[in-house]
Amino acid sequence: MDDDRPVFFHLMAYADDADRDVVDMVSGDPDWEPPEALREGLRSFADAPVADYQYPPSEGLGELREEIAARRGVDVERVVITNGAGEANYLAMACGLEAHTGNEVVLTDPVYPYYSGRTEMLGGDARFVPVDEDGTLDPDAVRAVANDDTALVVVCSPNNPTGAVYGESVKRELVDIAETHDALFVSDEVYDHYDFSGDFHPALSFDSPNVVVTNSFSKSMATTGLRVGYAILPDHLVDPARTRHMLTNVAGSAPGQYAALRALRETPPDYYAANRAMLRERVDAFCDALDEAGADYTRPRGAFYVLVRFDGYPGTLENVERLIDEAGVAGMPGEAFGSSREDWIRFALVTPRAEEAAERLADHFG
Amino acid sequence: MDDDRPVFFHLMAYADDADRDVVDMVSGDPDWEPPEALREGLRSFADAPVADYQYPPSEGLGELREEIAARRGVDVERVVITNGAGEANYLAMACGLEAHTGNEVVLTDPVYPYYSGRTEMLGGDARFVPVDEDGTLDPDAVRAVANDDTALVVVCSPNNPTGAVYGESVKRELVDIAETHDALFVSDEVYDHYDFSGDFHPALSFDSPNVVVTNSFSKSMATTGLRVGYAILPDHLVDPARTRHMLTNVAGSAPGQYAALRALRETPPDYYAANRAMLRERVDAFCDALDEAGADYTRPRGAFYVLVRFDGYPGTLENVERLIDEAGVAGMPGEAFGSSREDWIRFALVTPRAEEAAERLADHFG
Confidence at residue A294, expressed as pLDDT on a 0 to 100 scale:
83
For A254-280, the pLDDT digits (tens) are: 999 999 999 999 999 999 999 999 999
Considering the domain architecture, whether residues B163 and B291 belong to the same structural domain is answered as: no
Which chain A residues have a beta carbon less than 8 Å from that of B84?
249-251
Mark which of B266, B297, B316 sits at the end of a domain.
B266
CB A227 within 8 A of CB A193: no
Which chain B residues have a beta carbon less than 8 Å from that of A9?
57
Considering the domain architecture, whether residues B121 and B188 belong to the same structural domain is answered as: yes
Instruction: Give the predicted TM-score (pTM) of the model.
Output: 0.96
Query: Which CATH number belongs to the domain containing residue B287 in this structure?
Result: 3.90.1150.10
What is the rounded average pLDDT for all residues in chain A? Answer: 95
Considering the domain architecture, whether residues A211 and A280 belong to the same structural domain is answered as: no
Considering the domain architecture, whether residues B209 and B336 belong to the same structural domain is answered as: no
pLDDT over 70 (residue B310): yes
The partner residue sitting opposite B42, judged by closest CB among A57, A223, A255, is A255
d(CA B363, CA A226): 49
Confidence at residue B3, expressed as pLDDT on a 0 to 100 scale:
42
Tell me the shortest Cα–Cα distance from B364 to chain A, in angstroms. Answer: 29
Considering the domain architecture, whether residues A191 and A290 belong to the same structural domain is answered as: no
Query: Which CATH number belongs to the domain containing residue B258 in this structure?
Result: 3.40.640.10
- pLDDT band for position B334 (cuts 50, 70, 90): very high
Residue of B nearest to A98 (CA): B121
Which chain B residues have a beta carbon less than 8 Å from that of A87?
248-250
Residue type for position B216: S
Confidence at residue A299, expressed as pLDDT on a 0 to 100 scale:
95
The partner residue sitting opposite B251, judged by closest CB among A31, A117, A227, is A227
Q: What is the mean pLDDT of residues B189-213?
A: 97
Considering the domain architecture, whether residues B11 and B67 belong to the same structural domain is answered as: no
Residue A265: how many CB atoms within 10 A of its CB? Answer: 12
CB contact under 8 A, A3 and B47: no
Residue whose C-alpha is closest to residue A14's, from A326, A351, A355, A366: A326
Confidence at residue B6, expressed as pLDDT on a 0 to 100 scale:
67
Considering the domain architecture, whether residues A210 and A296 belong to the same structural domain is answered as: no
- Chain B from 207 to 236: CB within 8 A of any A CB: 222-227
CB contact under 8 A, B54 and A1: no
Confidence at residue B292, expressed as pLDDT on a 0 to 100 scale:
82
- pLDDT band for position A1 (cuts 50, 70, 90): very low
Which chain A residues have a beta carbon less than 8 Å from that of B250?
5, 83-84, 86-87, 114, 227
Alpha helix segments (H runs only) across B223-268:
235-249, 254-266
Which chain B residues have a beta carbon less than 8 Å from that of A2?
243
Residue A138: Cβ-neighbour burial (10 angstroms; 0-12, 13-18, 19+): middle
Q: Which domain holds residue B92?
A: 38-266
Considering the domain architecture, whether residues B146 and B130 belong to the same structural domain is answered as: yes
DSSP code at position A313:
B
- Chain B from 87 to 106: CB within 8 A of any A CB: 87, 90
pLDDT over 70 (residue A39): yes
Buried b (16+ CB within 10 A) or exposed e, B215-234: bbbbbbbbbbbbbbbbbbbb
- Reduce the DSSP state of residue B3 to 3 states and report it: coil
Which chain A residues have a beta carbon less than 8 Å from that of B225?
52-56, 251, 253-255
ipTM field: 0.96
- pLDDT band for position A173 (cuts 50, 70, 90): very high
Asked if B282 is an interface residue toward chain A (Cβ–Cβ < 8 A), one would say no
Considering the domain architecture, whether residues A258 and A301 belong to the same structural domain is answered as: no
Residue A147: how many CB atoms within 10 A of its CB? Answer: 14
Q: Mutating which of B247, B262, B304 best tests the A interface, going by the most A Cβ atoms within 10 A?
A: B247
Considering the domain architecture, whether residues B83 and B196 belong to the same structural domain is answered as: yes
DSSP string, A49-90: -GGGGS---TT--HHHHHHHHHHHTS-GGGEEEESHHHHHHH
Which chain A residues have a beta carbon less than 8 Å from that of B253?
83, 225-227, 252-253, 255-256
Mark which of B250, B266, B282 sits at the end of a domain.
B266
d(CA A159, CA A111): 9
Q: What is the mean pLDDT of residues B172-178?
A: 98
Asked if A46 is an interface residue toward chain B (Cβ–Cβ < 8 A), one would say yes
Confidence at residue B4, expressed as pLDDT on a 0 to 100 scale:
47
CB B281 within 8 A of CB B346: no
Considering the domain architecture, whether residues B109 and B155 belong to the same structural domain is answered as: yes
Residue of B nearest to A46 (CA): B39
Tell me the shortest Cα–Cα distance from A192 to chain B, in angstroms. Answer: 19
* Per-state percent for chain A, helix, strand, coil, to nearest 5: 50, 15, 35
Confidence at residue B1, expressed as pLDDT on a 0 to 100 scale:
35
For B127-157, the pLDDT digits (tens) are: 999 999 999 999 999 999 999 999 999 999 9
Determine which of A5-9, A59-63, B149-153, B214-218 has the lowest per-residue pLDDT on average: A5-9
The partner residue sitting opposite B39, judged by closest CB among A27, A46, A247, is A46
CB B157 within 8 A of CB B164: yes
pLDDT over 90 (residue A243): yes
What's the angle, vertex CA A50, arms to CA A83 and CA A257, rounded to 5?
A: 25
d(CA B196, CA B188): 17
- pLDDT band for position A6 (cuts 50, 70, 90): low
Considering the domain architecture, whether residues B15 and B56 belong to the same structural domain is answered as: no
d(CA A20, CA A24): 12
Residue whose C-alpha is closest to residue A112's, from A295, A311, A275, A332: A332
Residue of A nearest to B247 (CA): A118
Mark which of A266, A299, A333 sits at the end of a domain.
A266
DSSP string, A279-309: HHHHHHHHHHHHHHHT-EE---SBSSEEEEE
What is the rounded average pLDDT for all residues in chain B? Answer: 95
Residue whose C-alpha is closest to residue A26's, from A10, A42, A41, A39: A10
CB contact under 8 A, B250 and A83: yes
**What number of CA atoms fall less than 13 Å from residue B181's CA on the CB side?**
27
pLDDT over 70 (residue B24): yes
pLDDT over 60 (residue B238): yes
Look at chain A and report how many structural domains it folds into. 2
For A92-125, the pLDDT digits (tens) are: 999 999 999 999 999 999 999 999 999 999 999 9
